[in-house]
Amino acid sequence: MSQLFDPARTRVFLRATAAAMALSSVLLTAGCGASSDGSGGDAKASAAVPAGFPVTIDNCGVRTTYDKPPARVVTIHQHPAELMLALGLKDRMVGTAFPDSAVLPELRKDYEAIPELAEREPSFERILEAEPDFVYGGYGSAFAENEGRSRTAFTDAGIDTYLNREYCGRKRVTMKDTYDEIRTIGEIFGVPDRADALVADLEGRVDEAAGQVEGEPEVSVFVYDSGDKSAFTAGGRSLGTELIRSAGGANVFADLDDVFGDVSWEQVVERRPEVIALYDYAGAGSIEEKKRFLLSQPALADVPAVRNKRFVVLPLTATLVGIRSAYAVEDLARGLHPESFR
């Protein structure tokens, strides 16, 4: 039934408008004083050294001192690129690689303007051609030693590196890691105020979504990443588990002591999830293919999520340490508790 005034919809509209304005403000502020000639890190980008330098950062056991902000940056994997753009650092970016899902609409134009070095991880030689002074990797594979891209190799070439903290070691990943990642990158590039503003906006998104479903019954969720003979799913150490909890749900495999892992379909049946979260990314089959597979399995027919066809789709990048995770909480909350958003 249509209504002339719906308080719930109005709250959502106002929140979305405020969030868009906040991110626009971050990007606008970032643009002031940035190079506008598209040269990607020329003298304009590096001439003025912000206060607070030198800066020393310990990243995954690699200690680096920056006398000034990096001026020519290559990002490997999509989530580091989006984080850089959200901080208004487009003028420092001379190459990206390995896009795996649709870029946030407000960042798409800037993302597409940056040269794509490779569809997956570029070779060491291809990265050197871009003449970076800093390489920011999203997954551990960014610096795969067996492919000649070790962090030591870059250091020997006079290039600093940074690896997303999610891949520094086997530990539980939380939203705090996301906020710390943003602030660390802000520190390296001399834009701590932008980082603080971005973190505040993302925290607001999470709080708003969590508040919408506060007090609602917990919904059980199974994360399906991929797999046919077994299911590759998000475990208790994954950021996905916290995103689900913040959205008013519970990961049925939160007791899996890993970030990701394989479980049997018998276990999925036993745990009877009410909703299935489908991770969407290139190279793992389309979302429609994943749905068809799950719906065609006789053994899963009585699983509530399958029987009721309750699926929530999340870009894989939204479940990683980066700016998309805050958006994922709202998407999950809407999928788990649609009645709270009517």
**Structural domains of the chain sorted by starting position, each given as residue range(s) with its CATH number in brackets:** 33-163 (3.40.50.1980), 217-341 (3.40.50.1980)
Preceding peptide of 304 cis, ω within 30°: no
pLDDT in tens, the chain (342 residues): 333 333 333 333 334 334 444 444 444 444 443 333 444 444 444 457 888 899 999 999 999 999 999 999 999 999 999 999 999 999 999 999 998 888 999 999 999 999 999 999 999 999 999 999 999 999 999 999 999 999 999 999 999 999 999 998 868 899 999 999 999 999 999 999 999 999 999 999 999 999 999 999 999 999 999 999 999 999 999 999 999 999 999 999 999 998 899 999 999 999 999 999 999 988 778 999 999 999 999 999 999 999 999 999 999 999 999 999 999 999 999 999 999 988
Preceding peptide of 54 cis, ω within 30°: yes
- Residue 280 three-state SS: strand
Relative to beta strand 249-251, strand 55-59 is: unpaired
Task: Return the DSSP state at 299.
Answer: G
Relative to beta strand 116-118, strand 219-224 is: unpaired
CA distance 97 to 75: 6
CA distance 293 to 274: 17
> Residue 19's pLDDT is what?
41
> Residue 311's pLDDT is what?
97
Contacts of 127 (CB under 8 A, 6+ apart): 74, 76, 95, 117, 135, 149
CA distance 206 to 216: 16
C-beta atoms surrounding 101 within 10 Å: 17
> Residue 47's pLDDT is what?
52
CA 237 to chain centre: 16
* Contact yes or no for 319/234 (Cβ under 8 A): yes
Closest CA to 137 of 160, 116, 157: 160
